[in-house]
Structure 1
Amino acid sequence: MIDAPVRVVSAGNGRAQVEPTAQSGCGGCQSRSSCGVSGLGKYFSNNRKAIEVQCDANVRAGDELQLSMSEGDLLKAGLLAYLLPTVLALAGAGVAAAYGLGDVGAVLGAGIGIATGFLLGRLSGWTPQMYAQLKSDQSNEGETP
């Protein structure tokens, strides 16, 4: 699981609006800005707005939570956001070149391909599952009752 600390902006009905705290990324070192592991922390950069997540705990504004996402969901999101448009851009440029449309046609084909990739990603409706829990719950995870 990839974790990031967040602060509750508002909460109700099993959902919470959260925003990033000052720390982002994995917190393992000082090279978070160039680290590929801190994907969830990069999602919560300082210019992001609050997002709504599922939270079964009874929380209120100002509470600190730990937001978690599986590595598989992060990988799927990256593939959908980056790989699909890139592959379709290359395919569009390849099709245009195969039909002998020249450089302008290849650029237009790539543009159509990348736009189609972004549109398909948006229309898929898939979003990564993120879960929020109180930070104090984290300390009890490895213990048995």
Structure 2
Amino acid sequence: MIVTTARVVAADNGRTMVEPSNESGCGGCKSRSVCGVSGLGKYFSGNRKAIEVQCDASVTAGDELQLSMSEGDMLKAGLLAYLLPSVMALAGAGIASAYGWGDAGAVLGAAGGVAAGLLMGRLTGWVPHILAQRKNEYSSKGETP
């Protein structure tokens, strides 16, 4: 399971808007002062957006939730978001080159392939399952994330 903490922004009828906590993914790392990834995290940290998750617990704005997702869902999301458009871009460029449309045609074919791959990923209708629980529910059940 991939687990993170999020803060509730708004809650209504089982649908909860949450935004990620302010700590970076490598906030506990001992070598963050010399790490390039840590610097990128600080640079992009202002781009956090709230997402909607389903939460059956009664929560209010300001509460902290534990969000978890299975590794399989994360892999499938990555394949749909990155691999499918990349493969379609190569296919589009290859088809354009096969028809002899030159370099400009290959670029347009690749752009069309990326667009088709993103559209195909969107049309699958698949959404990863994110489990939202109050942050202290793990300790009350004796489980660890």
TM-score normalised by the chain length of structure 1: 0.81
| Counterpart residue number, 1:75 | 75
2:92 is the alignment partner of 1:92: yes
Structure 1 contact 3–26 (Cα < 8 Å) conserved = no
Q: Find the counterpart in structure 2 of residue 103 from structure 1.
A: 103
Matched length:
136
Report the CA distance between 1:67 and its aligned residue.
0.9
What residue is the counterpart of 1:17 in the other structure? 17
Q: Could you say which residue in structure 2 is the equivalent of 1:124?
A: 124
Deviates more, 1:82-91 or 1:12-21: 12-21
Measured at CA, do residues 140 and 7 of structure 1 come closer, stay the same or move farther in structure 2, by a change above 3 Å?
same
DSSP 3-state at the match of 1:23: coil
- Structure 1 runs (4+) deviating above 4 angstroms are 30-33
Instruction: Please report how far the alpha carbon of residue 20 of structure 1 lies from its aligned counterpart in structure 2 after TM superposition.
Output: 1.3
CA distance in 1, matches of 2:15, 2:27: 26
Which residue of the partner structure matches residue 29 of structure 2? Answer: 29
Aligned-partner Cα distance in 1 for 2:126–2:26: 25
Query: RMSD between aligned alpha carbons?
Result: 2.5
C-alpha separation in 1, matches of 2:66 and 2:36: 20
1-side partners of 2:57 and 2:24: how far apart?
22
Q: Match for 1:34: what amino acid?
A: V
**Unaligned ranges ≥5, structure 1:** 36-40
- TM-score w.r.t. the length of structure 2 is 0.81
In structure 1, distance between residues paired with 2:18 and 2:71: 20
Displacement of 1:15 after TM fit? 1.9
- State the shift of 1:27 in Å: 5.6
User: Gaps (5+ residues) in structure 2?
Assistant: none
